[in-house]
Amino acid sequence: MSINQNFGVAIHILTILALSKDEYVTSKELAESVDTNPAVIRRLLTQLAEKKLIITKQGRFGSKLNPELKDITFYDVYKVFYDDNIVKATHSPSDKCPIGKNINEVLCGMLNEVNANFEADLKKRTINQIKKKMEELLWK
């Protein structure tokens, strides 16, 4: 599974847990909603639990959101799977070429700004926002 899939599936899982309030949800139940194998879900749950976004009880209990967290941002989820800038462009160009000598410095400066804007936008989006939209859809 790629990072993008992991991110989307993790958001899906966290939304179900948010809608389930304080009840534990099993990996089997989550897997049925995501339409994947429970082993895939358990792997993602382990990663989310390591970052303290959820609480997991092994066995038939399942998982729930960490009640100590006020809200979980998309940035929090992103950092579970990715620890560095999402866009990188450094390479090893020829230092004999005036463009090659300078391209990494110029390009990296611009891409650092892109990454900072991306991360700032992720911090504005929350699981609670998705939960509210899902409640609107489910209880129309």
Per-residue model confidence as pLDDT tens digits over 65-118:
998 898 999 999 999 998 777 777 778 889 999 999 999 889 988 988 998 999
Q: How far apart are CA 62 and CA 54, in angstroms?
A: 10
Q: What is residue 63's DSSP assignment?
A: E
State pLDDT tens for residues 13-65.
Answer: 999 999 998 899 999 999 999 999 999 999 999 999 999 999 999 777 899 99
Q: How far apart are CA 65 and CA 54, in angstroms?
A: 4
pLDDT at 76: 96
Of the candidates 71, 33, 79, 9, the one whose C-alpha atom is nearest the C-alpha of residue 25 is: 33
Q: What domain count does the chain have? A: 1
Of the candidates 97, 109, 77, the one whose C-alpha atom is nearest the C-alpha of residue 8 is: 77
Range of the domain at 94: 3-138
Q: How far apart are CA 74 and CA 66, in angstroms?
A: 15
Q: How far is CA 79 from CA 16, 18, 84, in A?
A: 20, 19, 8
CATH number at residue 57: 1.10.10.10
